[in-house]
């Protein structure tokens, strides 16, 4: 049974409102964390949470949290969450609909006079996307005490420490470990998200029931050569960091195209060249490598092959190359009981299929302390992390209804 209304216009209004709170000098819909646009959006979100009957607070890791008290104080809360930061040049739906879904569910619980037995937490996690500090899922990491001192001391290109950024966003970095949630503090975490892929659209399904989330490892590779004059340095006397880096980047692609027991992907999407002059042989290149798979051992195999190529490149090109691990999140598998409950939630809303997530989410971190479940809605042409990212508002509201139904299912089931 579907207990929630498909309020397309209200969801549309919320999405379009957030779509205006962006850096309009950047491409697409850009709202990076620790910026004035991010602060503006959070002020609006906090106001909407309050209107929906939620008590609003910011935790030590600067996550924005709305709380709706349940009737049974002995039950650990159920959490619904996602994020509202975007990649540079991103879209209007990624992450954002998950936070807005939680607020819409809270609104409808209030309007319909429904009281949950569990306390409900609606969370806008800080900085889910890869950040200028070299890590992602900052807020959810902090919530579960997976934000190390080394991470907190990292600086962005402007010299801002992550701990200072968290403080700017209203957090208290010194209290993160002390206030972190532990296993048993949350009974369940649920999230609505766009698929960011083409499967639902191509199979003509409305909803995706997520079976698992890939693990992600990120590395920073630094290639040091010798900068020199591009006109006077013979080709056989160059120590070109960029051509060495290019060789390694192609190796990442080659390694990721091999066959493994689980599907893998490997990407280099960020590159810095010094001194970055058209008439100078590059002396230093820094680039980030991201590897994803449902198998940690498979990612480890890929890393071994990349390191082997690094050693060859150092010898053959007379360069110095270092590799540093930036972050790691483990693959997550959704348990059968959660899948069953989400299937129940989707049943009277739309056509649904089981599928894994090739993208990482805050759920990767929350899974350290609680079972998780996710619902996907279709992405037009499978596009995401770009201005063309699109999901029909009616499809978003189907996801909201399915998530709300699943919430009621688990609220009742876990109370027994």
| Residue range 330-337: mean pLDDT, rounded | 93
Q: State pLDDT tens for residues 259-292.
A: 998 889 999 999 999 999 999 999 999 999 999 9
Residue 415 has pLDDT above 80, yes or no: no
Q: State pLDDT tens for residues 101-144.
A: 999 999 999 999 999 999 999 999 999 998 999 889 999 999 99
In this predicted structure, what is the pLDDT of residue 104? 98
- Give the distance, in angstroms, between the CA of residue 7 and the centroid of all CA atoms in the same chain: 26
In this predicted structure, what is the pLDDT of residue 359? 86
In this predicted structure, what is the pLDDT of residue 286? 98
Residue 416 has pLDDT above 80, yes or no: no
| Residue range 147-156: mean pLDDT, rounded | 95
Residue 413 has pLDDT above 90, yes or no: no
Phi, psi of 359 (to 5 degrees): -105, 150
In this predicted structure, what is the pLDDT of residue 328? 86
In this predicted structure, what is the pLDDT of residue 262? 87
Query: Whole-number mean pLDDT of the chain?
Result: 96
What are the residue ranges spanned by the domains of the chain? 8-213+332-413, 216-329
What is the fold, at CATH topology level, of the domain defined by 216-329? Alpha-Beta Plaits (3.30.70)
Judge whether 104 and 14 are in contact, CB under 8 Å. Answer: yes
Residue 83 has pLDDT above 80, yes or no: yes
Predicted structure pTM score: 0.83
| Residue range 239-258: mean pLDDT, rounded | 98
Enter the CATH code of domain 8-213+332-413. 3.40.630.10
In this predicted structure, what is the pLDDT of residue 160? 95
In this predicted structure, what is the pLDDT of residue 375? 98
In this predicted structure, what is the pLDDT of residue 205? 98
In this predicted structure, what is the pLDDT of residue 219? 96
| Residue range 167-173: mean pLDDT, rounded | 97
Q: State pLDDT tens for residues 181-231.
A: 999 999 999 999 999 999 999 999 999 999 999 999 999 999 999 999 999
Q: Percentage of the chain surpassing pLDDT 90?
A: 94
């Amino acid at each position: 049974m579907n207990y929630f209304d498909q309020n397309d216009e209200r969801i549309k209004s919320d999405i379009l409102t957030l779509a205006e709170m962006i850096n309009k000098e950047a491409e697409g819909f850009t709202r990076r964390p620790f910026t004035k646009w991010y602060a503006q959006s959070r002020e609006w979100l906090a106001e909407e949470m309050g209107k929906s009957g939620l008590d609003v607070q910011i935790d030590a890791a600067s996550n924005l949290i709305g709380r709706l008290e349940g009737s049974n104080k002995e039950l650990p809360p159920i959490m619904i969450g996602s994020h509202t930061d975007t990649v540079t040049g991103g879209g209007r739906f990624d992450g954002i609909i998950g936070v807005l879904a939680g607020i819409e569910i809270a609104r409808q619980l209030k309007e319909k006079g429904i009281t949950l037995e569990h306390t409900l937490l609606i969370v806008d996690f800080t900085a889910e996307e890869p950040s200028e500090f070299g890590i992602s899922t900052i807020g959810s990491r902090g919530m579960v005490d997976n934000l190390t001192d080394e991470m907190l001391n990292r600086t962005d290109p402007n010299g801002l420490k992550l701990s200072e950024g968290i403080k700017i966003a209203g957090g208290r970095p010194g209290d993160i470990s002390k206030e972190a949630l532990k296993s048993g503090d949350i009974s369940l975490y649920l999230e609505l998200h766009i698929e960011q892929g083409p499967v639902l659209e191509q199979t003509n399904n409305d909803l995706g029931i997520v079976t698992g989330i890939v693990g992600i490892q990120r590395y920073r590779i630094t290639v040091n050569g010798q900068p020199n004059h591009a006109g006077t340095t013979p080709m056989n006397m160059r120590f070109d960091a960029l051509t060495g880096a290019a060789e390694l980047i192609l190796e990442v692609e080659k390694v990721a195209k091999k066959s493994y027991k689980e599907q893998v992907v490997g990407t280099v999407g960020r590159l810095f060249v010094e001194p970055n002059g058209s008439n100078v042989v590059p002396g230093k290149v820094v680039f980030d490598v991201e590897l994803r798979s449902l198998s940690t051992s498979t990612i480890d195999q890929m890393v071994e092959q990349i390191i082997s190529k690094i050693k060859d490149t150092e010898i053959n090109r007379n360069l110095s190359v270092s590799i540093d691990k930036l972050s790691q999140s483990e693959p997550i598998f959704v348990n059968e009981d959660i899948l069953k409950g989400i299937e129940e939630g989707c049943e009277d809303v739309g056509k649904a299929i089981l599928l894994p997530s090739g993208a990482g989410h805050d759920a990767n971190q929350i899974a350290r302390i609680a079972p998780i479940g996710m619902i996907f809605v279709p992405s037009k042409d499978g596009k995401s992390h770009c201005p063309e990212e699109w999901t029909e508002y009616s499809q978003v509201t189907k996801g909201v209804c399915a998530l709300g139904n699943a919430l009621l299912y688990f609220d009742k089931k876990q109370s027994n």
